[in-house]
Amino acid sequence: MIDHQFIINKFGFLGSDFFDEMQKHAIIDTIKAKTEIIREGQKIRYVPFLIKGSIKVYSLNDGRELIYYYVRPDDSCLMTFASIFGDYTSKVYAIAEEDSEVLLIPASVLHNWLIRFPEINKLFYHEYDKRFTDVMNMVNEAVFHRLDKRILSYVKQQISLTGNNPIKLTHREIASNLGTSREVVSRVLKKMENEGEVVQTRDGIQILANENVRTI
């Protein structure tokens, strides 16, 4: 069933004719946590708009992940959106970080809408601005920040995404997402624990109250 309120909030500025088109072509789908949505080289059939949940967009190099950004509720995946201007082939991987609900628009239909409803380009530029900022932040962290700061930032980011503190994260998962080894992550987290920045328990990794959790 189409979420009318989501469509109105996201696309209402495009008018009633667009709303009618959305009713004809868009579908709602649910995606279980840890389900791969798209992989590099696959043909893109749909452009997703996230209603609830979280989606991680990343690339792989020698089995290690490089995270570009997270798609959050009310957002779309810029790199999927951008593919409709080319060969409809994905250049990234995307996976649902948690149970998610998405509005799916066929890529070929959206391509046609760009001509019929040119104001939809505002959505593209808005997504571009947000994703460009995310990627620049990622590059700055990778180049200029020490690994301990990157690990702390990543844990805070996951807490902000899920609302869980402590949060269930394995050392291997953190290492994969930050392009390092599990042993290095374990050593850094132990050092941070000794310095009173985090606590590690059976329930996960907890950021202590004196550490601000960044809202993303």
pTM listed for this prediction: 0.65
Q: Which CATH superfamily is domain 4-117 in?
A: Jelly Rolls (2.60.120.10)
**DSSP secondary structure letter of residue 125:** H
Residues 135, 139: Cα–Cα separation, whole Å: 6
Q: Which residue has the higher pLDDT, 78 or 3?
A: 78
Q: Which residue has the higher pLDDT, 132 or 21?
A: 21
Q: What residues have CB less than 8 Å from 19, skipping those under 6 apart? A: 7, 8, 11, 12
Domain(s) of CATH 2.60.120.10: residues in the chain: 4-117
Per-residue model confidence (pLDDT) at position 145: 60
Band of residue 215 on the pLDDT scale cut at 50, 70, 90:
very low
Band of residue 214 on the pLDDT scale cut at 50, 70, 90:
very low
Using a pLDDT cut of 70, give the percent of the chain over it.
91
Per-residue model confidence (pLDDT) at position 163: 83
Has residue 209 got a pLDDT over 80? no
Strand partners, 106: 46
Question: For the chain, how big is the Rg over CA atoms in Å?
Answer: 19
Q: Which residue has the higher pLDDT, 59 or 5?
A: 59
Domain(s) of CATH 1.10.10.10: residues in the chain: 146-207
Q: Which residue has the higher pLDDT, 151 or 210?
A: 151
Can you point out the beta strands (E) in 53-146?
A: 55-61, 64-71, 93-96, 100-106
Per-residue model confidence (pLDDT) at position 38: 92
Q: What residues have CB less than 8 Å from 106, skipping those under 6 apart? A: 25, 45, 46, 47
Using a pLDDT cut of 90, give the percent of the chain over it.
20
| CATH architecture for residues 146-207 | Orthogonal Bundle (1.10)
Mark 157-168 as b/e (b = at least 16 C-beta within 10 Å).
bbbbbeeebbbe
Has residue 32 got a pLDDT over 80? yes
Has residue 212 got a pLDDT over 70? no
Lowest mean pLDDT among 19-23, 144-148, 204-208: 144-148
Q: For residue 127, what are its two tokens?
A: 């997504």
Q: Cα separations (Å) of 68 from 19, 81, 119, 171?
A: 31, 15, 27, 20
pLDDT tens-digit series, residues 86-118: 888 898 999 998 899 999 999 989 888 988 888
Mean pLDDT for 124-133 is: 79
Residues 122, 99: Cα–Cα separation, whole Å: 28
Per-residue model confidence (pLDDT) at position 216: 38
